[in-house]
Amino acid sequence: MAERSFATEVQKLKLGKGETFHGEGILAVTKALLQAGVSYVGGYQGAPISHLMDVLSDAEPILNDLGVHFETSASEAAAAAMLAASVNYPLRGAVTWKSTVGTNVASDALASVASSGVMGGALIIVGEDYGEGSSIMQERSHPFAMKSQIWLLDPRPNLTSITQMVEKGFELSEASNTPVMLELRIRACHVSGSFTAKDNVKPAFTLAEAMEHPVRDYGRVVLPPSNFVHEVEKIEKRWPAAVSYIKKHKLNEFLGGSTGDVGIIVQGGLYNTLMRAMQLAGLADSFGRTDIPIYCLNVTYPMIEDEVRGFCADKRAVLMVEEGQPEYIEQALNTILRQADLQTRVVGKEVLPRAGEYTGQVLRNGLQAFFAAHAPGKAKGTKSDQPLDPKTQKQLTQNVPQRPVGFCTGCPERPVFTAMKLIQRELGNFHVSCDIGCHLFSILPPFNIGNTTMGYGLGWSGASAFNTPAGKRTISIMGDGGFWHNGLTSGVGGAVFNQNDNVLVIIDNGYSAATGGQDLLSSRADNTNRVTNQPIERAVRGLGVNWVRPVNTYDLGKMVRTLREALTTDVKGPKIILAQSECMLNRQRREKPLQRKAIQDGQRTIKTRFGVDADTCTGDHACIRLSGCPSLTIADTPDPLREDPVTRVNNDCVGCGVCGEIAHAAILCPSFYRAEILHNPTRWDRVRAAVRRAIIGFFQRLDERKRARYSFGGTS
């Protein structure tokens, strides 16, 4: 169950020639793939292209009608290896994943397919997850393209450019026998717009034909001596063919003015942001019209030297807008110009930040600095992001609390780390090796648990150096998504083989929750197109793990006891705790619509909520410190003799009960209560409620009379 369904939107993929397609970038990419006659598509979900996998999954009936094979790959490496189908056959194939972490995983297969070369068009669609909104290390896809000689497309973020680059990407790949990488930033993936559609095209050469007439060419296998020939072929044949195609089809664009002694060179994906910055600086109007010459690099690798020289020949200076570091394009520009004995000044990182996302404000400041030095009076305004003065900064810090990201309300992973905090009180601190996934939020407040994270499914491998006798054991974390991606072999298999004596906690929430709630092998839900219900416990026992303990994560007491046993048992060998409960987001997506419909239909339904008795709460707030649930907040105490605010449960509560469990496990707090909200009550429900109100009211009035007598000095 993905976080978003495209079941309705995918019908737009059936639009034909001349019709207008309206939608967002991810949907447009899928339409472009079908228009280009793709034969197969695979990939691994991950922001910012998670929804591309979801669209493809929802569009499987349409893909099947066209004879297009779609596969949810086990990892990015598995997806990249699919491109092997295009090495010997004229099959167009596309794969997709989040970069750069996904490209890291896929690098071996990418290097191999780039070495052997392709006969059919091979397109790699990567989500360029760079900038302050990213959750990964800040690296770029550019060096991977350069390292393996894969051509890199970076289209302007509008649907016409994006769809054109998808189609031209296949053609460029076939013209140069080289895989092509197309990078899409978050804004490009979700930009809305329109373009004129074309008819979908069935593959000219089918997968079945390739299977029935297999072709073997030793010259395409990456082994000596073929691999040495590949390297020469890259330079003497593929590179010139790519340059020729890019120039002939004008994939790069010359925009803005045609003359001027200063200009701008920009990565295609940053064009929209640049135009906004130019508008703010008075260099363009609101429709993007400007007299400043702009060279837009929809292809950032390889560089087209003729175009670079022609653009720069009559200019004193050009501004290179290249996000991230190192400044690969800026260095290439300088090399091209100096070899041609052109003295055009290339200005880039001296006026723009070396690292970090290039927002509109950042580019505006860079533009103003560039034009102030090389075309005074051209740009209007002043640098507008002056740092706050110390007094204002102090006031901001005092009045605006930090809001670190954290688990969702009711998340089944929260009690796992609460249990670990409680065990730390008892046994002391221990080394925790984290993994990629929602559980990584445990590193942040209020848990502050976790020492390192090395990659998806590498939680246990990240602690493998500590497989040595000591007074304590380490704890490693792994999600079910990471387990099936990489952790089964590199983590569990390695631990069994090397007789690891430490502990692994596998968060089994039923989905690839961190990437949008897609199904996995171990998902409990039935999936019409995939095989599910393959238990993780069976897999780890099959590898030779004997100490395995499944635990319902919401049973905090049992989770604490199981962790204690794992950390203190005399049993040697790998120990695995399966922390099992369904992802609350997916559960709510499934149950809420059913619940709303039941209420509308007049059916009796019960919603469970938890609350705090303000008169009983002491303001200790252990429930907040050990939980961090967004539904827990504070409120003024009703007791005039107390100063500390009390805990309050807001309307976000989903009734998981963890807060009460935590409070009792931590300090035996009696202030939490459970309430059931009843919709469409029966006659018996109303009678029972009336009796309860009468009994409670009787005791309340009795208590009030006693209080009144005591307050006036009376006796009982």
| pLDDT band at residue 380 under the 50/70/90 scheme | confident
Instruction: With cut-offs at 50, 70 and 90, classify the pLDDT of residue 403.
Output: low
Q: Where in the chain are the domains?
A: 12-248, 253-374, 414-586, 599-698
- Angstrom CA distances, 180 to 89, 106, 247, 277, 516, stand at 17, 14, 16, 30, 27
Which residues in 254-292 are b (16+ Cβ under 10 Å) and which e? Answer: ebbeeeeebbbbbbbbbbbbbbbbbbbbebbeeebebeb
Measured in whole angstroms, the distance separating CA 150 from the mean position of its chain's CA atoms is 24
Neighbours of 153 (CB within 10 A): 29
Chain centroid to Cα 375, Å, comes to: 41
Q: Which residues pair with 607 in a beta bridge?
A: 677
- Contact by Cβ (8 Å): 97, 91: no
Same fold yes or no, 253-374 and 599-698: no
Which CATH number among 2.40.128, 3.40.1000, 3.30.70, 3.40.10 corresponds to the domain 599-698? 3.30.70
Residue 317 has pLDDT above 50, yes or no: yes
Q: What is the pLDDT of residues 206-248, one digit of tens each?
A: 999 999 999 999 999 999 999 999 999 999 999 999 999 999 9
Q: What are phi and psi of 175, to 5 degrees?
A: -70, -30
379 has pLDDT over 70: yes
151-192, pLDDT tens digit by residue? 999 999 999 999 999 999 999 999 999 999 999 998 899 899
Tell me yes or no: is domain 414-586 CATH 3.40.50.970: yes
| CA angle (299, 57, 59) in 5-degree steps | 85
Tokens 């009936």 locate to: 61
For residues 357 and 350, give the distance between their C-alpha atoms in angstroms, rounded to a whole number: 16
For position 567, what pLDDT does the model report? 97
Within its chain, how far is the Cα of 293 from the centroid? Answer: 36
Helix runs in 67-213, H state only: 76-82, 85-88, 101-116, 142-148, 159-176, 186-190, 207-212
Tokens 């009792």 found at: 664
Q: What is the DSSP string of 426-489?
A: HH----EEE-SSGGGGGGSTTT---SEE-STT-TTGGGGGG-S--SS--EEEEEHHHIIIIIII
Pick the CATH number of 12-248 from 3.30.70.980, 1.10.630.10, 3.40.50.970, 3.40.960.10: 3.40.50.970
Position 385 scores a pLDDT of 53
Output the pLDDT for position 401: 62
Q: How confident is the model at residue 716 (pLDDT cuts 50, 70, 90)?
A: very low
**Tell me, which fold does domain 253-374 have in CATH?**
Rossmann fold (3.40.50)
Which residues face 182 on adjacent strands? 125, 153
pTM over 0.85: yes
Residue 36 has pLDDT above 70, yes or no: yes
Over residues 420-435, the pLDDT tens digits come to 999 999 999 999 999 9
Segment 243-267 mean pLDDT = 96
Secondary structure percentages of the chain, helix, strand, coil, to 5 = 45, 15, 40
Q: Which two tokens stand for residue 715?
A: 């006796």
Beta strand residue intervals within 501-559, DSSP E: 503-508, 547-552
Q: What is the dihedral of CA 419, 423, 425, 428, to 10 degrees?
A: -140
What pLDDT is attached to residue 83?
Answer: 98
